[in-house]
C-alpha cells in the first residue's frame, strides 16, 4: 500500500490512540518503499494535521451539524486531512484534495458518509471564494472570536494557556509572530567537529554533493541546511564523524559553559548527547566528561555518537542526577540541561503543544529545582554551572533560578565575557539569556551561567 494519504491516515489514527507523532510516522514509513516526494507528502500531512488540530476541529464545529468531538474519531481524522490540504497546501489542487478525501472515507468504513464529506469540504471552498480561487486569494471561512487569547489559539492552533504565557511576556504582535514561526517546518542545523575537519572542508563536501547550506552568525561550528537534504546519514562526512546534527541554540549552551582542556565536566542530563559531544570538542577531547542520564537506551545513543565523532573523554554514568552522590565538589563545570516542557521547540515536535499542560509544567518545575539544588553540589568552589532549557515558560526558567539563588548565598549569576550572542538575544539585567525563535530564527532557549564563590564550604 503506497497511497500517501492512506499512510497519513493510518499514522494519524495511531497518534490519536496516544503514539508520538514522529514515532508513529517512522513506523509507517519504514514498512513501505516510497519516492521522496510521496514521503514528504505523508510527513507534511501528518505533522500539519497534528499541529493544526485545533483550527481544523473549529472548522468542523462551524461547518458541520455535529461538533468535531461528536464525530467518529476516524471520520474526524479524514476531515482533518481534507481541510488541511484545502487550507494550507498551495500545491494541491482543491479538486484533488476533495476527491482524495472522499476516497479515504469510502475506503475506511464511511462509504455511507461520502456525500457528507464532499459537501462539507465544498461548503468550505464556496465560503473561501470557489474551487478555482488560489489559496493566497481565499476569503477565510474560519470565524474567530474577539478575545485575543482564543483568537490566536484557534487561528494558529495552540492551547489557550500557551498563548497566555507568551502574551504576558511578549505582547500581542510578537506573540502572533511566535505562533506563526512555531507552525513552520523546522530547519536542520549541524555542528562541525573541529577535531576531525574544518567548516570550509564540510562546506565544500556538502556543496559538491549538491546540498545547499549557509553559516550561522556568531557560531563558529554551525551550518544550516537549506531545502531538502535526503537521508542525513548518507551525506558526506556523517559516517566519518565530521559533523553532527544540533540546533544553533543548543550549540550556544556549550559556548556559554566554556569548558577548558583538562577539566572535569559533568553533563547532568546528558542523553542523547548533543551537548556532551560539543563539550568534548570544545575541550579538544582532553579532560574528563561525565555524561549522566537515567535512561540507558538514550545513553546508548550518546555512546554511538561519541564513537562516530571519535571522542575519548566521555564517561557514562547511569542514574538520576538528583540521587547521584559520588560527585560532591569534584567538577570544574556542570551543565544542567534540564528536562522541560519544550515550548521553545514545538515546531520540531508536532504534538508537544497538546501533550503539555499547566499541571505538567508545575511538575517539571519541581523536578528542575530538585536537579539544580543537587547538581550544584557537584561543583568545586570557584566552579561554574550552566542551567539551560528549551522552554519559554518563566515557571521553568526565571522562577527556578530566582528560587535557587534565594536559598544559595554562595552562588551568583555570572555575565559571560567572550560569548558572542545572536543579534537581539534577550539578555536581561539579571544576566540570563532568552532566545526567542521569531527574533533569531533558532529554537527557543533559556540559559544562565552561575558561579560558586570560592569561600563556599
Catalytic residue positions?
390
Query: How many CB atoms within 10 Å of residue 157?
Result: 22
Backbone angles phi, psi at 158, to 5 degrees: -135, 150
Q: Decide: 353 and 162 in contact? Cβ < 8 Å.
A: yes
Q: Pseudo-torsion of CA 80, 83, 88, 90, nearest 10°?
A: 130
Q: Decide: 205 and 240 in contact? Cβ < 8 Å.
A: no
Pairing between β-strand 379-389 and β-strand 331-337 as defined by DSSP bridges = parallel
Pairing between β-strand 433-435 and β-strand 331-337 as defined by DSSP bridges = unpaired
Angle between helices 114-128 and 73-88 (to 10 degrees): 30
Q: Which position has the grid cell 579532560?
A: 287
d(C-alpha 424, C-alpha 130), whole Å:
43
Nearest alpha carbon to residue 179 among 189, 192, 164, 193 = 164
The DSSP code sequence of 314-334 is EEEEES-TTS--TTTT-EEEE
Nearest alpha carbon to residue 137 among 180, 94, 185, 95 = 94
Q: Decide: 287 and 265 in contact? Cβ < 8 Å.
A: yes
For residue 214, give every residue at least 6 positions away whose Cβ sits within 8 Å of its Cβ, in sequence order, or none.
Answer: 223, 224, 226
The DSSP code sequence of 50-111 is HHTHHHHHHHHHHHSSS-GGGS-HHHHHHHHHHHHHHHH-TTS-HHHHHHHHHHHHHHTT-G
Q: Decide: 27 and 15 in contact? Cβ < 8 Å.
A: no
Amino acid at each position: 500500500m503506497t497511497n500517501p494519504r492512506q499512510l497519513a491516515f493510518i499514522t494519524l489514527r495511531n497518534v490519536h490512540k496516544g503514539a508520538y507523532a514522529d514515532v508513529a510516522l517512522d513506523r509507517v514509513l519504514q514498512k513501505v518503499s516510497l519516492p521522496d516526494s510521496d514521503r514528504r507528502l505523508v510527513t507534511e500531512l501528518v505533522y500539519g494535521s497534528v499541529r493544526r488540530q485545533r483550527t481544523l476541529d473549529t472548522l468542523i464545529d462551524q461547518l458541520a451539524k455535529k461538533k468535531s468531538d461528536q464525530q467518529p474519531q476516524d471520520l474526524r481524522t479524514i476531515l482533518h486531512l481534507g481541510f488541511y490540504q484545502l487550507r494550507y497546501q498551495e500545491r494541491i489542487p482543491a479538486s484533488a484534495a476533495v476527491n482524495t478525501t472522499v476516497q479515504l472515507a469510502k475506503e475506511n468504513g464511511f462509504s455511507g458518509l461520502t456525500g457528507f464529506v464532499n459537501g462539507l469540504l465544498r461548503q468550505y471552498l464556496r465560503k473561501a471564494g470557489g474551487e478555482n480561487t488560489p489559496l493566497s486569494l481565499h476569503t477565510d471561512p474560519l470565524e474567530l472570536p474577539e478575545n485575543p487569547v482564543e483568537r490566536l489559539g484557534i487561528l494558529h492552533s495552540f492551547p489557550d494557556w500557551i498563548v497566555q504565557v507568551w502574551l504576558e511576556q511578549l505582547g500581542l504582535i510578537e506573540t502572533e509572530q511566535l505562533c506563526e514561526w512555531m507552525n513552520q517546518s523546522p530547519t536542520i542545523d549541524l555542528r562541525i567537529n573541529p577535531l576531525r575537519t574544518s567548516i570550509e572542508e564540510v562546506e565544500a563536501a556538502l556543496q559538491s554533493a549538491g546540498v545547499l547550506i549557509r553559516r550561522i552568525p556568531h557560531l563558529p561550528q554551525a551550518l544550516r541546511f537549506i531545502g531538502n537534504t535526503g537521508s542525513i546519514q548518507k551525506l558526506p562526512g556523517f559516517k566519518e564523524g565530521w559533523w553532527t546534527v544540533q540546533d544553533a541554540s543548543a550549540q550556544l549552551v556549550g559556548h556559554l559553559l566554556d569548558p577548558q582542556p583538562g577539566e572535569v565536566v559533568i553533563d547532568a542530563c546528558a542523553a542523547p548527547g548533543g551537548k556532551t559531544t560539543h563539550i568534548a570538542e570544545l575541550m579538544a577531547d582532553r579532560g574528563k566528561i561525565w555524561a549522566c542520564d537515567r535512561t540507558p537506551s538514550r545513553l546508548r545513543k550518546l555512546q554511538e555518537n561519541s564513537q562516530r565523532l571519535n571522542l575519548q573523554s566521555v564517561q557514562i554514568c547511569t542514574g538520576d542526577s538528583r540521587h547521584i552522590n559520588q560527585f560532591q565538589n569534584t567538577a570544574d563545570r556542570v551543565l544542567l540541561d534540564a528536562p522541560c516542557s519544550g515550548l521553545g521547540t514545538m515546531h520540531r515536535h508536532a504534538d508537544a503543544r497538546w501533550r503539555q499542560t499547566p499541571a505538567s509544567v508545575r511538575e517539571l518545575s519541581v523536578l528542575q529545582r530538585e536537579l539544580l539544588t543537587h547538581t550544584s553540589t557537584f561543583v568545586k568552589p570557584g566552579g561554574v554551572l550552566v542551567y539551560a532549557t528549551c522552554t519559554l515558560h518563566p515557571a521553568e526558567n526565571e522562577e527556578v533560578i530566582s528560587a535557587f539563588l534565594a536559598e544559595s548565598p554562595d552562588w551568583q549569576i555570572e555575565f559571560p565575557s567572550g560569548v558572542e550572542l545572536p543579534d537581539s538575544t534577550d539578555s536581561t539585567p539579571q544576566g540570563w539569556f532568552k532566545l526567542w525563535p521569531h527574533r533569531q530564527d533558532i529554537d527557543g532557549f533559556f540559559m544562565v551561567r552561575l558561579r560558586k564563590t570560592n569561600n563556599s564550604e
